[in-house]
Structure 1
Amino acid sequence: MTVLLTSDADGVRTLTLNRPHRKNAIDAELWEALRAALVEAGEDRSVRALVLTGAGGAFCSGADISQRVSGAHPLYRMRTLTEVTLALHELPVPTVAKVTGIAVGAGWNLALGCDLVVATEEARFAQIFARRGLSPDCGGSWLLPRLVGLQQAKRLALLAETIDAEEARALNLVTWVVDTGTVDAFVDGLTARLVASAPVALAQTKALLNEGAEHTLREALASEARAQAVNFATADVPEAYAAFAEKRDAHFTGRWAVPGRTAGRSEDKT
């Protein structure tokens, strides 16, 4: 059985965790497949948005603790989890978690690592680590305080409570809660809007927001100035202006629009 399903449609790549018999608990094979798939998605310019979801009515029940543990030191085993988390966080395209059923432990933190989270009404969430004698991983200790504040983060992590989709939304851990029957159409519409946007500008915006919590205002302003310089070097800015003037939808490509040097021209002297 293929543990990670990959599909592409209209610029959207969907990665589906496919171990439904274990509620998509992630074993060593799936961790490796997920790492490779995220790196590949980041390098594929045809991918304009990414959806992470699970098969069989569950998102992910966390790491598969039923799997036989190898003799390697836990720090080495954790390296793959670290690389998956960073690859997801640093992916230059918008990411959407489509959560049906349970999302617990590392599975929930993978969802939180996405830029947007769409959950169905029956979705359930838990930072289950404390019940397993463990502490949060996959970025949970970094993500939770930034999303809900320190006190609520401690409540979720220390008590390992299970919360429903509506409470998760109230805590800013879910972006939208939708009916199960409409979740696919909702995510399709959402990703279509993302794909229609300027890809370079979205990548710059995502990076600015991710970095902003760690920056001073002065540092953030400097980063914004650099990002705008990158944006103005694409064909998307003049296309947006033209579309506005012509009262039509813009067609964004992310194409580099700075003229190159004339062939045969000697290098400038300094």
Structure 2
Amino acid sequence: MTSDLADTPLVSLEGGVLTLPVSLDGKGNSLDSDCISQAGVALDSVLAGTVDVGAILLVGLGKNFCAGGNVPGFAAAEDRSEHVRELADRLHGVVRQLDRAPVPVVAAVAGWAAGAGLSLALAADFSVGGPDTRLLAAYPGIGLSPDGGMSWRLPRAIGQSAARAFILGNEPVDGERAHRMGMITTFVEGDVPTAARELAARLASGPRASYAATKELLRRSEVNSLSEQLDAERDSIATLAVSPDGIEGVNAFVAKRTPRFGDA
């Protein structure tokens, strides 16, 4: 599968890892409109199956992952309500696409992840942070409420009470504490972008059908009863048992060798 990414110059694809910048160096690494638009175009290709992607990597092109929305842009808008609504709609389109993506999503949460930046980090399957990582709700500081799914994902990650205290209190949390709380999945002492890219590369060489099926099961678990979920799990594992990667994985286990997913 191939796809022309000529219309998305900020996006890159290498070794099965689709890298999507969410902010640019300068302007405080605020959420960049061009980045979000190009991410949406690239993710359309992923969901259509026209691009050979094994993992998605969210990054900031600067010292911070993303310091939130472009607040000066909010202030300068002729109609602030309509401007913010349009930006939220565009961001939410990307959040929905990331949720539906059949491959693992990794966020390199270097430096600050605030406001919409934190919402994007929470949208990832894996979020990698380090000693310099700082998370902040940010919205109360400018008199606004969360977007990007923060009010949905954060309570599920750390619990309702902790999410309320974090968002309403609007105090930053460092990377180590964020990891202990469950706000990020992975804490590293070394370089965060490098660790995140290595993780994405490892995942990209893994069993893609297994990843896709697992993510779909997790999505369905939000609304399924236990009985419905058990039936879905039965059907899924039976289907994967005769898939190329399922056959390779089982055969490799029996032969006591490393599986070569994607070769079939």
TM-score, normalised by the number of residues in structure 1: 0.85
- Is the Cα contact below 8 Å between 1:12 and 1:48 reproduced in 2? yes
- Is the Cα contact below 8 Å between 1:48 and 1:195 reproduced in 2? yes
- Is the Cα contact below 8 Å between 1:5 and 1:18 reproduced in 2? no
The letter of the residue matching 1:65 is V
Q: Which residue is equivalent to 1:136? A: 146
Q: Which residue is equivalent to 2:248? A: 239
Q: 1:248 aligns with which of 244, 252, 257?
A: 257
- CA distance in structure 2 between the aligned counterparts of 1:70 and 1:50, rounded to whole angstroms: 36
Q: Which residue is equivalent to 1:210? A: 219
- Is the Cα contact below 8 Å between 1:118 and 1:176 reproduced in 2? yes
The letter of the residue matching 1:55 is L
Relative distance call for 1:206 and 1:70 in structure 2 (3 A) is farther
> What's the offset of the Cα at 1:160?
1.2
Q: 1:69 aligns with which of 77, 82, 100?
A: 77
- Secondary structure (helix, strand or coil) at the match of 1:23 reads helix
Stretches of structure 2 that go unaligned for 5 or more consecutive residues are 1-6
Q: Which residue is equivalent to 2:203? A: 194
- CA distance in structure 1 between the aligned counterparts of 2:13 and 2:94, rounded to whole angstroms: 20
Matched, 1:91 2:97: no
Matched, 1:28 2:38: no
- CA distance in structure 1 between the aligned counterparts of 2:149 and 2:30, rounded to whole angstroms: 17
Q: CA offsets, 1:66-121, max 9 Å, x none?
A: 11325473544432122111011111100100111100000001011000110121
- CA distance in structure 1 between the aligned counterparts of 2:184 and 2:230, rounded to whole angstroms: 29
Q: Which residue is equivalent to 1:125? A: 135
- CA distance in structure 1 between the aligned counterparts of 2:9 and 2:140, rounded to whole angstroms: 28
> What's the offset of the Cα at 1:184?
4.2
Relative distance call for 1:148 and 1:37 in structure 2 (3 A) is same
Q: 1:16 aligns with which of 6, 18, 21?
A: 21
- Is the Cα contact below 8 Å between 1:4 and 1:34 reproduced in 2? no
- CA distance in structure 1 between the aligned counterparts of 2:72 and 2:9, rounded to whole angstroms: 19
TM-score, normalised by the number of residues in structure 2: 0.87
- CA distance in structure 2 between the aligned counterparts of 1:161 and 1:112, rounded to whole angstroms: 17
> What's the offset of the Cα at 1:178?
1.3
Q: Which residue is equivalent to 1:266? A: none
- Secondary structure (helix, strand or coil) at the match of 1:137 reads coil
Stretches of structure 1 that go unaligned for 5 or more consecutive residues are 256-270
The letter of the residue matching 1:46 is D
- CA distance in structure 1 between the aligned counterparts of 2:35 and 2:252, rounded to whole angstroms: 44
- Identical pairs, percent: 32
Q: 1:54 aligns with which of 33, 55, 60?
A: 60
Higher percent of residues as helix: 2
Q: Which residue is equivalent to 1:224? A: 233
